[in-house]
């Protein structure tokens, strides 16, 4: 086997490992992001419940002030009754007093309603706070694990990139350019094994002469159908050659 083919096969294995490292890291980062989004969703819901609780509190205070205002006015009207001179004035006083009492009771109903809202909202907020604390904890732990894995992946990448550079420098310019162009277009299937007389990448039916040339591994052979670099692998084709 020419050195260029052996180098390309080793180079493909390194590139495949780099690709798998990137995919593994992307998957872990996506999972970490999902955990953060889950926590943020609970955080947003909690903020909405807290605003609802605050609004209920404001409404209750307003109702309490209105009840006090109506009761104070009713007391004022009662204090005025001994000095009333005419029946018309007395009836007007009684009517306004009754109106103040009715309004006070309406506002008291509002207070009861807002208290029920406050209780229910407080229970929901308490549950959400516990849920958020748990999701924040999980997200933080996941993020820390991803950071550790990121450091490990970067270390592996540096090692593989160093090995890759050494291999690339040993290739001829033509072989290197051909491989890099194919890698950019075909990804991890830039180099494929011949399978049952066909290209392992596009399944193009190769002429017998081409199959024999690939089997001899004497020079670079490209698939006439897709342009991939063809290699002969005894036994089951390794991962990535398809």
Whether the Cβ atoms of residue 240 and residue 12 lie closer than 8 Å to each other: yes
Collect the ranges in the chain with pLDDT lower than 50: 236-242
In this structure, the strands spanning 229-231 and 191-195 are parallel
Same domain, 158 and 191: no
Q: Specify whether the CB–CB gap between 213 and 221 falls below 8 A.
A: yes
Q: Output the pLDDT for position 185.
A: 83
106 and 225, same domain (yes or no): no
- Total structural domains within the chain: 2
Q: Are 212 and 171 in contact (CB under 8 A)?
A: no
Quick one: 127 and 212 in the same domain? no
Q: Are residues 205 and 153 in the same domain?
A: no
How far lies 190's CA from each of 1, 13, 241, in Å? 19, 11, 8
- The domain containing residue 91 runs over which residues? 17-171
Q: State the pLDDT at residue 235.
A: 52
- Residue 99 is part of a domain; what is its CATH number? 1.10.287.1490
Q: Domain check: are 166 and 74 in the same one?
A: yes
pLDDT of residue 47: 97
Q: Tell me, what's the pLDDT at 191? A: 85
Contact 164, 11 (CB under 8 A): yes
- Indicate whether this model's pTM tops 0.85: no
Q: Is residue 117 part of a domain?
A: yes
Residue 213 tokens read as 């040339």
Q: Does residue 135 sit in the same domain as residue 67?
A: yes
Q: Are residues 154 and 209 in the same domain?
A: no
Q: Are 163 and 131 found together in one domain?
A: yes
């Amino acid at each position: 086997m020419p050195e260029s083919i052996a180098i390309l096969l080793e180079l493909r294995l390194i590139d495949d490992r780099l690709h798998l490292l990137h995919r593994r890291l992307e998957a872990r980062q996506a999972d970490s992001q999902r955990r953060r989004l889950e926590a943020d969703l609970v955080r947003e819901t909690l903020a909405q419940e807290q605003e609802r609780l605050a609004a209920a509190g404001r409404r209750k205070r307003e109702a309490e002030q209105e009840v006090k205002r109506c009761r104070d006015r009713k007391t004022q009207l009662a204090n005025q009754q001994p000095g009333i001179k005419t029946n018309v004035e007395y009836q007007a006083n009684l009517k306004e007093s009754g109106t103040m009492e009715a309004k006070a009771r309406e506002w008291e109903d509002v207070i009861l309603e807002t208290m029920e809202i406050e209780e229910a909202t407080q229970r929901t907020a308490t549950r959400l706070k516990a849920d958020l604390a748990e999701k924040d904890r999980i997200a933080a732990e996941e993020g820390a694990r991803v950071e550790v894995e990121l450091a490990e992946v970067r270390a592996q990448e540096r090692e593989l990139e160093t090995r890759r550079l050494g291999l690339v420098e040993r290739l001829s310019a033509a072989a290197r350019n051909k491989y890099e162009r194919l890698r950019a277009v075909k990804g991890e299937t830039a180099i494929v094994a011949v399978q049952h007389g066909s290209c392992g990448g596009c399944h193009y039916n190769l002429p017998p002469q081409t199959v024999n040339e690939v089997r001899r591994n004497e020079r670079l052979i490209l698939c006439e159908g897709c342009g991939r670099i063809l290699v002969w692998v005894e036994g089951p084709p390794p991962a990535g050659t398809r």
